[in-house]
Amino acid sequence: MGLFKSQRFSDIKAVASGPVIAIGLTASMGGFLFGADTGQISGFLIMRDFLRRFAQFKPEEEEKNGVPYGFNNVREGLVVGLLSIGCLIGALIAAPISNRLGRRMAMISLCGVFLVGNTIQIASFHAWYQVAIGRFICGLAVGGLSVLVPVYVSETVPKQIRGALVATYQLFVTMGILTSYCVNLGTSHVDDGPWSWRGALMIGYLWALILMGGMFILPETPRYLLSQGRKDDCIKALKWIAGKKNKGNQALIESQYQEMSSMIHEEKSFAKKSFFSSFDPKDKVMYRTILGFALQMFQQLTGANYFFYYGTTIFQSVGLTNPYVTQIILGSVNVVSTFPGLWFIERYGRRKPLIFGGLWQCAWLIVFAVVGSECDQNSKTVGSVLIFSACMFIFGFASTWGPGVWVAIGEIFPLRVRSHSASFATAGNWSWNFLLAFFTPYITSSIGYRYGYVFAGCNLIGVLIVFFFYYESSNLTLEQVDQMYTDPDTKPWKSSSWVPKGYSSRREAAEDEKERADINAGLREDGRTQHIENADRQGSMDSHTTKESTNAI
């Protein structure tokens, strides 16, 4: 086992080229945009100038807010939640846009949409609905990017580090949230006027421009290029992604090209697909689409945004004089906890982190609900326990369900419906994001901290869904994941033992692939006989196709 871990680390190191890392970091700025918007609005709701301009006149609120203004539940829910409605629509339209323009150009276009929405918010003076409309337009971009970033990364980077780089999207979401908390703290001290919130919004231009500029440099995904018949462009993209250190390893590029070519050829044997093709019961396509929707829905129902959207009001009993400090505490835990999450996904696979993470979250939500509803809320000790249990919950979420669900969305769908199914699945995230953002003020005013019991129950349901329906896809290519889901003899709770045909274990498949690449590259001159056997076992393409693609390289 130690030898395999060492070999696996060596494999990861071998494929982790500079371009691969650049792809993961640049594309994940789409997550940063979402995190930045989420963190901003929670701070704006307590800024005095924002309240004076957009809230209702409420003299009784002056002691709490510093000004005689406050939001009612409807207006607050709409200002907070319309971003999620925009995200929902953006997620649904991302598929047809990306299929027509390509993943890369679609992401660039969505960055432009974000800049427009941000400008509308900055230009607001007294109309609260103008802020809400601007957030809705920003949501169109953020929702579309939430679909395309995992798809782009999954279709571009090698499988050895695919999980970690797709999960980087969630890491950037947490970094965006924390950055906005810090920006809000800074602008609130610099100016008590309109620049307290306009300044924070203007900084948002920077994040969108970084993503837009980076995507102009990065290539289109090889899988998309090949699916459009652009073979030469596909090979160029594979060479660029391989980087300088793998520039001479034609076997690695050839292996990736042939695997994609074989699967895409099979996909094209099907009729042209529409959005409704995602609900075709054949090959468990509908199964996987609904599973993706359920995973995204229960990621929201874990209760994470309960703390991120309304954290400043939840912990008033803690006695912190500056509510921004509470935000920064929660945001810091969120960011730091995501790093072990990236390791969990690569070390323990996809299913185990979600199962044990859900149980961990459930336990701490019960502690939160019991202490908050049954103990003296005016006690600082009780307040400290509440914020500690919230931090423990966020640790679990950020290291399991936060990144884990985005990894699942990038892996479980077959190529022919990947964009459509990912759009529908991600719509589950944004629709429930809005429902929670809009109705939480009503619910908390009615049941208070007992809301934690509701989320605890949802975490248990999420665990059951993962156990009974979600397949283990770690250390498999996207094409092999598709084969696993269509294997009638494989059950989700036993899927970790599934291996590609011709192998006795995934370990053997990974080692054999590395050995085959080394032999093809001429690194093992004495292993050519074994290479032929391995190539046969992998089901290589006919000699004419192999020769043609090799010459192209």
Are the C-beta atoms of 326 and 181 separated by less than 8 Å? Answer: no
For residues 18 and 151, state if they share a domain: yes
For residues 293 and 254, state if they share a domain: no
Which residues partner with 171 through β-bridges? none
pLDDT category at 257 given cuts 50, 70, 90 is confident
Boundary of a domain, candidates 456, 482, 508: 482
Give the model confidence (pLDDT) of 487-540 as tens digits. 988 999 989 889 888 777 777 776 666 566 555 544 433 443 344 344 444 444
For residues 325 and 453, state if they share a domain: yes
Tokens of 22: 């650049």
For residues 310 and 242, state if they share a domain: no
Residue 383 has pLDDT above 70, yes or no: yes
CA distance 258 to 12: 21
Q: Is residue 225 part of a domain?
A: no
Give the model confidence (pLDDT) of 58-67 as tens digits. 888 777 777 8
pLDDT at residue number 133: 96
Residue 128 has pLDDT above 70, yes or no: yes
Q: Is residue 224 part of a domain?
A: no
pLDDT at residue number 326: 75
For residues 259 and 355, state if they share a domain: no
Give the model confidence (pLDDT) of 137-157 as tens digits. 999 999 899 888 888 888 888
Residue of 312, 414, 401 whose CA lies nearest to 357: 401
- Ranking 124-138, 248-262, 355-369, 508-522 by mean pLDDT, the lowest is 508-522
pLDDT, the chain, mean: 81
For residues 417 and 328, state if they share a domain: yes
pLDDT at residue number 525: 35
Are the C-beta atoms of 504 and 496 separated by less than 8 Å? Answer: no
Residue 248 has pLDDT above 70, yes or no: no
- At 350 the three-state DSSP class reads coil
Residue 202 has pLDDT above 90, yes or no: yes
Proportion of the chain above pLDDT 70, given as a percent: 82
Give the model confidence (pLDDT) of 10-26 as tens digits. 555 555 677 888 888 88
Residue-number span of the structural domain to which 365 is assigned: 2-218+272-482
For residues 247 and 342, state if they share a domain: no
**Burial of 190 (C-beta count, 10 Å sphere; 0-12/13-18/19+):** exposed
- Ranking 124-138, 243-257, 358-372, 489-503 by mean pLDDT, the lowest is 243-257
Q: Is residue 166 part of a domain?
A: yes
Give the model confidence (pLDDT) of 183-201 as tens digits. 988 887 777 788 889 999 9
For residues 259 and 284, state if they share a domain: no
Are the C-beta atoms of 421 and 482 separated by less than 8 Å? Answer: no
For residues 108 and 212, state if they share a domain: yes
Are the C-beta atoms of 246 and 16 separated by less than 8 Å? Answer: no
Boundary of a domain, candidates 459, 482, 505: 482
Are the C-beta atoms of 208 and 118 separated by less than 8 Å? Answer: yes
Q: Is residue 226 part of a domain?
A: no
Are the C-beta atoms of 441 and 73 separated by less than 8 Å? Answer: yes
CA distance 402 to 138: 22
DSSP sequence for 179-207: HHHHHHHHHHHH-SSTHHHHHHHHHHHHH
User: Which residue type does 9 have?
Assistant: F
Using H for helix, E for strand and C for coil, what is the string for 21-69?
Answer: HHHHHHHCHHHHHHHHHHHHHHHHCCCHHHHHHHCEECHHHHHHHCCCE
CA distance 167 to 343: 10
Q: Specify whether the backbone of 17 is left (phi greater than 0), alpha (psi in -120 to 50) or beta.
A: beta
* Domain total of the chain: 2
Q: What is the Cα 75 distance to its own chain's centre?
A: 29
Residue 415 has pLDDT above 90, yes or no: no
Q: Is residue 262 part of a domain?
A: yes
pLDDT at residue number 448: 84
Q: What is the CATH number of the domain that holds 24?
A: 1.20.1250.20
- Strands (DSSP E) contained in 219-274 are none
Q: Specify whether the backbone of 501 is left (phi greater than 0), alpha (psi in -120 to 50) or beta.
A: beta
pLDDT at residue number 506: 74
For residues 250 and 131, state if they share a domain: no
